Amino acid sequence: MIIEEREMGQCWRDLADVLAAGIDRVVLYGPPGTGKTYAALHAGVARGPAERLVCTEDLTTGEITGTWMPVGDGTWRWREGPAIRAWAANGGRGGRLVVDEVDRASGDALSTLLAMTDSLESARWRHPETGEWTRPGPEFSVVMTTNVEEFDDLPSALRDRFAVRLRVDRPHPDALECLSEDLRGPALAGSLGDESRRLSLRSFYAFDRLRRHCGASRAAELVFGDARASAVLDALRVAALS
Ligand SMILES: Nc1ncnc2c1ncn2[C@@H]1O[C@H](COP(=O)(O)OP(=O)(O)O)[C@@H](O)[C@H]1O
Ligand SMILES: [Mg+2]
């Protein structure tokens, strides 16, 4: 099945348009498993790999900007964190910083994240080793991702800072293309239901792989659970007929 244009989803077109327009601060939110992190890492990243920071409740400022590390013989060196590396990437022009699961960051870590992702004009940071003030390169960009369903569930400080927020509500077409052809329609349909009935793209990836080894019935039980396996298998049969 070719994923038709209308099924691509407005959200992915919006992201492409926003990045093409040079918007460099974006939040992607919505159900898990649609390709937000993948897009944050790759979309509009022309040079060099993106820096990725996965937030947890325990995230520290040091994990964002950097920490002192012992290098032997009693000396310590400053090891830059992902935010500062992204500021300076590509020979100082700046690269992409991906802040994943940003809803989990809080307190000092969230404040530091907001400071590091402030506008190019405002963001400043003093290198603890050299004492020099640095600023992000002109091409520094930030994509934050979160699996919260509603943007209002994010801390207000964050909501105010990122003017462009896109709710991603369906898998990226390229992600669907990674599945065997017969699974693409059911995987798309499964991702669109409400939260309690939704089936994630990741589960279809696992099913696709597993069924080659142990057949569709057992793979469906293992991945989707006894209660939902037969519904998934029925959906596959219907899709095959059409
Ligand atoms: N554009 C894409 N091309 C290929 N694979 C993709 C694409 N987008 C997502 N995927 C795959 O789909 C799965 C879910 O994507 P991920 O970005 O982790 O989702 P989310 O961040 O929305 O939870 C991952 O295995 C990822 O590698
Ligand atoms: Mg993610």
pLDDT in tens, 3-29: 444 456 899 999 999 999 999 999 999
Ligand 2 midpoint to CA 145 (Å) = 6
**Of the bound ligands, which one is closest to the alpha carbon of residue 15?**
1
Residue 193 Cα to ligand 2 middle (Å)? 19
What is residue 8's predicted lDDT score, i.e. its pLDDT? 67
User: pLDDT tens-digit profile of 156-204?
Assistant: 888 888 889 999 999 999 999 999 999 999 999 998 878 888 999 999 9
Nearest Cα to Cα of residue 97 among 161, 141, 35: 141
Q: Assess whether the C-beta atom of 146 lies below 6 angstroms from ligand 1.
A: no
CA distance to 97, 139, 182, 229, per residue, from 204 (Å): 29, 36, 11, 12
Q: What number is the average pLDDT over the span 62-69?
A: 96
DSSP state of 70: E
pLDDT in the model for residue 1: 42
Q: What is the pTM of this model?
A: 0.92
| pLDDT recorded at residue 2 | 45
**pLDDT one-digit tens code per residue, 106-152:** 899 999 999 999 999 999 999 999 999 999 999 999 999 999 999 99
83 alpha carbon to ligand 2 midpoint, in Å? 18
- Report the pLDDT value the prediction gives residue 158, as an integer from 0 to 100: 87
pLDDT of residue 240: 87
- Protein residue closest via CA to atom 14 of ligand 1: 33
Task: Give the residue whose CA is nearest to atom 9 of ligand 1.
Answer: 35
Superfamily grouping for domain 5-167: P-loop containing nucleotide triphosphate hydrolases (3.40.50.300)
**Cα of 175 from ligand 1 centre, angstroms:** 6
Sign of the alpha-carbon dihedral angle for 129, 130, 132, 136:
negative
User: Do the beta carbons of residue 168 and residue 34 sit within 8 Å?
Assistant: yes
Average pLDDT, the chain: 93
Residue 77 Cβ < 6 Å to ligand 1: no
Per-domain boundaries in the chain = 5-167, 179-241
Residue to probe by mutation, ligand 1, list 8, 26, 38, most atoms within 8 Å of CB: 38
